[in-house]
Amino acid sequence: MRLSEIVTILKGDPRADRAVPPTGYTARLTLLTAAAMAFLGVFALALSLATGRLADRWSSELAQSSTVRISAPADQMAAQTEAALRVLRSTSGVASARPLDAAEQLALLAPWFGPDLPVETLPIPQLIEVIETRDGYDAEGLRLRLKAETPGAVLDDHTRWRRPLIEAAGRLNALGLFSLLLIGAVVVAMITLAANAALSANAQVIRVLRLVGARDAYIARAFVRRFTLRALSGAAFGTVLGMIAMALLPRADPAGGFLTGLGFQGAGWLLPLFIPPLAAVIAFWSTRLAALRALKEIT
Amino acid sequence: MIELNEVSYSYGGDALLSDISLRLAPGSFHFLTGPSGAGKSTLLKLCYMELMATQGTVTLFGRPAHEIGRDGVASVRRRVGIVHQDCQFLDHLPLLENVALPLTVSGQSTEANMAEMQELLAWVGLSSKLRALPPELSGGERQRAALARAVVMSPDVILADEPTGNLDWEMSLRLLTLLVELNRMGKAILVATHDLNLIRQAKAQVAARVLRIKDRRLQLAGADL
């Protein structure tokens, strides 16, 4: 089918439209379904984008950093820290290494012990934040060198808990995309059902049109145009509602968890705008196929 | 224009028509008689491809029916005007739009043909009913409107299935006069009817052949007609 034919169908022919009477409840059903599915589509899209961002962030942040924990008696802590720093700074693939100060360590413990913890009086280990270069370092080699130079140092490169988190975010991302596909499939099913109902309700009209010389494409056009425009307007309404709902969600903040980051960012706000035309395309082809199939049963 | 050659039609294993041969040439006028259920409507439906022959060949405007696709059927029906007993109107459209429906579906402008449309509706005596909906018309008005719709595309052939079935005698004669006028314009006419008085009246005005379906076969009617 050429683009010019599609444009002709959407422009419509008032006389052809008048030949098929308004289709009552199927019109409202299509509008409602398209609006509801577009609303859900906005959320599924937001979920997919948010989990995608989350996976990327965790992946890049965690992949670039690791921690060296030094557990030593208080009088040896400074010396072991200095020794570990020497080892780290001379290790290929380590971009920087710095010990966390008391305030930073306190901030890490605050969620569990509150803000007034007297860190200096507790035998807590010293943490060294290690930032890797792009190529990274040889973790096993570094562990052996640290063990030789600083017996109380333990390297944690986050691998153990980084992988399942990234996998979880990736699966959530896939779930969001799958939800979008399901929503599309439901739209196809609902519009096909509504179109079939409209075609059945107008079987006599279609028969008369065929008897006076109407071609299948002419008859299908009247139904296709209606359902396409209804799906477009219903989806536009649902998309706008969904975007307003997303805009009203609480803002993401540094302390916020995953849910506060659910939403669109920057150019991501443009993506939901593709939902109404997509719904229209789905409606166009679903109705056209349903109409041409139904017409074949009428001579 | 329309030719049936040794055509049979069966449905569900029962033969409804057997070995039918018929040729509708330009300017010909045929009546088709027979009792109810004899197969008159079935024969007409074979002529405009609502049904397909199970044996034999139906040729429409030079093309065998079995070679004509769905778009081809639409093209054939633009050349064949059909008058049904139950008229087959779209009840939500006013009379003018119903009569203009063949023009509309073939992409022609009703506005451009408005003068001819009004002349046509005056010819069938419905000038004052242009905006009426079909359910608001009497039986006779509906039949005349159906005839107007059948001829609006200036078809080569007119098929009428019991066109006077719901009409009184005066109205039947009026409709017959319209059919005779169309025949004089060169249209081929085939009228299925069981109204023998109408046939006798027509034979006084036009050289019509009268065919009868008996025992599923087509035969020339006797001299009593």
Best probe of the A interface among B42, B51, B70, B89, by most A CBs < 10 A, is: B70
**Token pair for residue B211?**
């065919």
With 90 as the cut, is the pLDDT of residue A243 above it? yes
Q: What is the pLDDT, as a whole number, of residue A242?
A: 95
Q: How far is B105 from chain A (nearest CA, A)?
A: 5
Average pLDDT over chain A reads: 84
What is the model's pLDDT at position A112?
80
Cβ contacts of residue B146 below 8 Å, gap of 6+? B83, B84, B87, B88, B89, B163
pLDDT for B52 equals 93
- Domain assignments of chain A as residue spans, ordered by start: 3-56+163-295, 72-151
Are B74 and A208 within 8 A, CB to CB?
no
Residue A296, chain B, CB below 8 Å: the answer is: yes
Position A1 scores a pLDDT of 65
Q: Does B131 touch chain A (CB under 8 A)?
A: no
For B132-177, how does the pLDDT look when each residue is reduced to its tens digit (9 = 90+)?
A: 999 999 888 898 899 899 989 889 999 999 988 877 888 888 889 8
The band of A168, judged by pLDDT with boundaries at 50, 70 and 90, is: confident
Partner residues linked to B192 by β-bridges: B32, B161
Cα B167 to the center of its chain, rounded Å: 16
Number of neighbouring beta carbons within 10 Å of residue A119: 15
Asked whether the predicted pLDDT for residue B223 surpasses 70, the reply is no
pLDDT for the residue A278: 92
- In this complex, the residue of B82, B90, B153 whose CB is nearest that of residue A19 is B90
What are the chain B neighbours of A214 within 8 Å (beta carbons)? 74, 105
Q: Do B149 and A212 touch (CB under 8 A)?
A: yes
pLDDT for residue B222: 67
The string of pLDDT tens digits covering residues A195-204 is 888 888 888 8
Task: Provide mean pLDDT across the span A210-217.
Answer: 91
Q: Which two tokens stand for residue A266?
A: 């920057």
Is the confidence at residue B2, as pLDDT, over 90? yes
With a pLDDT cut of 70, the percent of chain B lying above it is 98
- Best of B105, B109, B151 to mutate (most A CBs within 10 Å, chain A): B105
Cβ pair B53, B67 in contact under 8 A: no
- Nearest CB neighbour to A16, from listed B73, B92, B104: B104
Using a CB-CB cut-off of 8 Å, the residues of chain A touching B74 are: 210, 213-216
B157 to chain A, minimum CA–CA distance in Å?
A: 13
- Establish, for the pair of chains A and B, how many residue pairs have beta carbons separated by less than 8 Å: 60
Q: How many angstroms away from the CA of A11 is the closest CA of chain B?
A: 15
| Interchain proximity A211–B49, CB inside 8 Å | no
* pLDDT tens-digit map of A115-132: 777 767 778 889 999 988
Q: What is the pLDDT of residue A166?
A: 76
SS3 state of residue A265? coil
Q: Is B25 on the interface with A (CB under 8 A)?
A: no
**Is the pLDDT reported for residue B27 higher than 70?**
yes
Amino acid identity of A43?
Answer: F
B95 vs A28, higher pLDDT: B95
- Average pLDDT rounded to a whole number, residues A168-192: 86
Q: What's residue A266's pLDDT?
A: 87
Structure tokens at A149: 């130079």
Q: What is the pLDDT of residue A258?
A: 53
Q: Could you say which architecture CATH assigns to the domain B2-220? A: 3-Layer(aba) Sandwich (3.40)
| Stretch 69-108 of chain A: residues touching chain B, C-beta under 8 Å | none
Q: Which residues pair with B80 in a beta bridge?
A: B157
> Is residue A16's pLDDT more than 80?
no
Does A209 contact chain B (CB < 8 Å)? yes
pLDDT higher at A57 or B74? B74
Question: Is A251 in CB contact (< 8 Å) with chain B?
Answer: no
d(CA A49, CA A180): 12
Flag if B104 and A205 touch (Cβ within 8 Å): no
> What average pLDDT score do residues A149-176 get?
81
Order of strands, sheet of B80-83, starting from the edge strand that comes earlier in the sequence: B80-83, B157-161, B188-192, B29-33, B209-214, B217-220
Chain B touched by A203 (CB under 8 Å): no
How confident is the model over A14-27, as a mean pLDDT? 74
Tokens for B138, please give them. Answer: 């009497």
Mutation target to probe the B interface, by most B beta carbons within 10 A, among A212, A215, A216, A218 is A212
- Ordered by start, the domain boundaries in chain B are 2-220
Q: Where are the beta strands (DSSP E) in chain A?
A: 65-70, 94-99, 126-132, 153-156
Q: Give the pLDDT of residue B191.
A: 95
A257 has pLDDT over 70:
no
Mean pLDDT of B216-222: 84
Q: What percent of chain B has pLDDT above 90?
A: 54
Q: What is the per-residue pLDDT across A76-94, written as a single tens digit (0 to 9) for each?
A: 888 899 999 999 999 998 8
Per-residue pLDDT tens for B31-42?
A: 999 888 889 999
Structure confidence at residue A252 (pLDDT): 57
B142 touches A: beta carbon within 8 Å: no
pLDDT recorded at residue A167: 81
Which strand ranges, in their side-by-side order, compose the sheet holding B55-60? Answer: B14-24, B2-11, B55-60, B63-64
Q: Which residues from chain B sit within 8 angstroms of residue A18, using beta carbons?
A: 93, 97
Give per-residue pLDDT as tens, B40-75. 999 999 999 999 999 999 999 999 999 999 999 999
Nearest CB to A19; choose among B49, B104, B149? B104
